[in-house]
DNA sequence: AACCAGGAGAGAG
DNA sequence: CTCTCTCATGGT
């Protein structure tokens, strides 16, 4: 067993199955509707605590605008107002509109899932407001693709555990993907445990 | 009452 | 490629 595998075993032993927000993100199988929620939340959750994301999601659900189809039809001002609690609402409304339109233009979530993975990741990264972490969150948690999501918690944990001091995103992702079984269920569980564990260490 | 939360874009050096 | 600034709300 290598260090990455030992890390997983250790986190699994300490925290068991991911709870809270992760009940949806790690749920399987997910309905199409739930996958769209994860996509929406992946934008809303940028530099924002989960409570505020929930307030924004509640607004969207109350307004019956909690689908990519509905969001794509909203104007920027209306969407901004609905997601305001999540912060950075002017940019996030713009990002969400672009993402919703992109997915619809591709023919919906099911069609997205059938695209070649490399091409899909590339196109997501080309969208404004979607960087590597957000793109990979969407690929891993919504579209169930075997792409490990790296974030600051992940980087700091590897540093703390003296596994590596690497800072380059792609290289960090490669460290995980090269050392554990290629399985999106495992990736989801592992990454969620990293975040849960990191927060518990505060 | 300052400080922070699963980031990303834009500009500068 | 690596800094630095900006964007904003709500809970401690």
Measured CA to CA, the distance from residue A48 to residue A125 in angstroms comes to: 21
Residues with CB under 7 A from strand B: A 21-22, 25, 45-50, 52, 87-88, 91, 127-135, 137, 141, 149, 151-153, 192, 195, 199
Residues 74-103 of A with CB under 7 A from strand C: 84-85, 87-92
Proximity of residue A37 CB to strand C below 7 A? no
Nucleotide nearest to A47 (CA to C1'): B5
pTM above the 0.95 mark?
Answer: yes
Q: What pLDDT is stored for residue A202 in this prediction?
A: 82
* Chain C: bases < 7 Å from a protein Cβ: 2, 7-11
Provide the 10 A C-beta neighbour count for residue A76.
13
pLDDT in tens, chain A (202 residues): 999 999 999 999 999 999 999 999 999 999 999 999 999 999 999 999 999 999 999 999 999 999 999 999 999 999 999 999 999 999 999 999 999 999 999 999 999 999 999 999 999 999 999 999 999 999 999 999 999 999 999 999 999 999 999 999 999 999 999 999 999 999 999 999 999 999 998 8
Q: What pLDDT is stored for residue A158 in this prediction?
A: 97
């Amino acid at each position: 067993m290598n260090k990455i595998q030992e890390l997983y075993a250790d986190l699994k032993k300490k925290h068991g199955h991911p709870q809270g927000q992760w009940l949806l993100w790690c749920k399987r199988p997910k309905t199409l509707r739930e996958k769209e929620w994860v996509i929406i939340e992946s934008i809303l959750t940028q530099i924002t605590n989960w409570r505020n994301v929930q307030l924004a999601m509640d607004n969207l659900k109350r307004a019956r605008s909690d689908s990519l189809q509905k969001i794509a039809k909203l104007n920027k001002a209306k969407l901004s107002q609905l997601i305001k609690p999540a912060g950075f609402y002017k940019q996030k409304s713009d990002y969400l509109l672009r993402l919703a339109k992109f997915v619809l233009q591709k023919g919906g979530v099911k069609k997205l899932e059938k695209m070649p993975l490399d091409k899909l990741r590339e196109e997501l990264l080309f969208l404004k407001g979607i960087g590597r972490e957000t793109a990979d969150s969407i690929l891993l948690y919504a579209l169930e693709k075997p792409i490990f999501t790296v974030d600051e918690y992940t980087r700091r944990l590897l540093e703390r555990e003296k596994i590596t001091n690497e800072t380059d995103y792609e290289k960090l992702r490669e460290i995980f993907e090269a050392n554990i079984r290629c399985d999106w269920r495992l990736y989801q569980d592992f990454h969620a445990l990293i975040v849960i564990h990191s927060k518990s260490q505060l």
